[in-house]
């Protein structure tokens, strides 16, 4: 899986948050994929293989992740949305569908609200539209400091980060997913990850009023076993988006596209086929 990802054609695109490594596959309408914190575009390879038969798939290594440039400061959600616009401009793509997980789902909401003329439909997975609660405001800045102090995800830190991503089903039954997560953690740039965690978790804004302005077709997906964003929190996000389709995936936690790729592919495919675009 990782070799196939690394062999995809790529471009390095300058953006307001530094150089982003962007890989593409296929032809047709474009779908942009933005991943979770600590993950690069490789988390979407099952989707790339499936959708590149009919679409142009655009896999972004988010700022400070994968082969993109390192981060040297905190950032805003508006800057992340602007990065998507800059990627589309560089690829001469006028409009694209957006699929995002966690960080990518939250940024997908920002992008869809801010740039309605650049988005077809959006699929927002395992994410939240609310500001950070007390647990995220306390635990995640501490996590970022510990990661910097110990120079990476080792031992208990790796176990803690992995547990935030997976649920009991994946822990029991999906060793390949666990391996993918561990490999992703081992390749993280520590300073970049600390900046990203700080920006996406404790500093994240309340976006519910902004999301209420969206008029594009949107599907919001929650994982029944998600330990990072409870189903009720993701549902609150879906409820404020006019006409949003709401889905809860059983036996799935925080990385739905990795844990249940076939179900995710079918959900996205059916949604894009049935969505009504103005």
Nearest to 8, CA basis, from 44, 54, 36: 44
The three-state secondary structure class of 146 is helix
Q: For the chain, what is the mean pLDDT?
A: 91
| Residue range 4-22: mean pLDDT, rounded | 93
Q: What is the pLDDT of residues 193-247, one digit of tens each?
A: 889 988 998 889 999 999 999 999 999 999 999 999 999 999 999 999 999 999 9
Give dist(CA 106, CA 149) in Å, integer: 28
Q: Please name the fold of domain 2-274.
A: Rossmann fold (3.40.50)
CA-to-CA separations, 140 to 18, 87, 201, 229, 254, in angstroms, rounded: 24, 29, 7, 14, 16
**Is the pLDDT higher at 176 or at 7?**
176
In a 13 Å sphere around the CA of 182, the CA atoms on its Cβ side amount to 11
Structure tokens at 171: 């822990």
Q: Could you tell me the pTM of the whole model?
A: 0.92
pLDDT higher than 80, residue 119: yes
Q: How confident is the model at residue 2 (pLDDT cuts 50, 70, 90)?
A: very low
**Is the pLDDT higher at 152 or at 255?**
255
Give dist(CA 216, CA 277) in Å, integer: 7
pLDDT higher than 60, residue 260: yes
Instruction: Kindly report which listed range (56-60, 156-160, 254-258, 267-271) carries the lowest average pLDDT score.
Output: 156-160
| Residue range 161-177: mean pLDDT, rounded | 92
| Residue range 26-46: mean pLDDT, rounded | 96
pLDDT higher than 70, residue 141: no
- Are β-strands 18-25 and 119-125 bridged in parallel, bridged antiparallel, or unpaired? unpaired
**Is the pLDDT higher at 188 or at 106?**
106
Give dist(CA 82, CA 79) in Å, integer: 5
Q: Are 201 and 145 in contact (CB under 8 A)?
A: no
| CB-count exposure of residue 269 (10 Å: 0-12, 13-18, 19+) | middle
Structure tokens at 156: 């208990």
- DSSP code per residue over 35-60: --TT--GGGGHHHHHHHTTTSEEEEE
């Amino acid at each position: 899986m990782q070799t196939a990802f690394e062999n995809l054609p790529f471009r390095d695109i300058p953006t307001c948050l530094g150089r982003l490594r962007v890989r593409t596959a296929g032809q047709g309408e474009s779908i942009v994929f933005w991943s979770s914190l600590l993950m690069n575009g490789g988390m979407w390879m099952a989707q790339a293989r499936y959708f590149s038969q009919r679409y142009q798939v655009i896999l972004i290594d988010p700022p400070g992740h994968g082969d993109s440039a390192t981060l040297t400061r905190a950032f805003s959600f508006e800057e992340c949305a602007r990065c998507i616009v800059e990627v589309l401009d560089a690829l001469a793509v006028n409009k694209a569908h957006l699929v995002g997980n966690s960080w990518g789902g939250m940024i997908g909401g920002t992008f869809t609200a801010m740039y309605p003329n650049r988005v077809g439909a959006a699929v927002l997975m395992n994410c939240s539209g609310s500001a950070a609660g007390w647990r995220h405001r306390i635990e995640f800045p501490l996590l970022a400091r510990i990661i910097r102090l110990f120079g990476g995800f080792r031992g208990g830190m790796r176990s803690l980060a992995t547990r935030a991503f997976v649920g009991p089903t994946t822990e029991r039954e999906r060793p390949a997913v666990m391996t993918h997560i561990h490999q992703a953690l081992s390749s993280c740039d520590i300073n970049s990850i600390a900046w990203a965690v700080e920006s996406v978790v404790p500093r994240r804004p309340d976006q519910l009023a902004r999301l209420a302005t969206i008029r594009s077709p949107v599907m919001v997906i929650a994982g029944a076993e998600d330990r990072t964003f409870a189903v009720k929190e993701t549902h609150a996000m879906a409820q404020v988006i006019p006409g949003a389709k709401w889905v809860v995936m059983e036996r799935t936690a925080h990385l739905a596209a990795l844990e249940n790729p076939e179900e995710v592919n079918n959900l996205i495919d059916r949604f894009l086929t049935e969505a009504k675009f103005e």
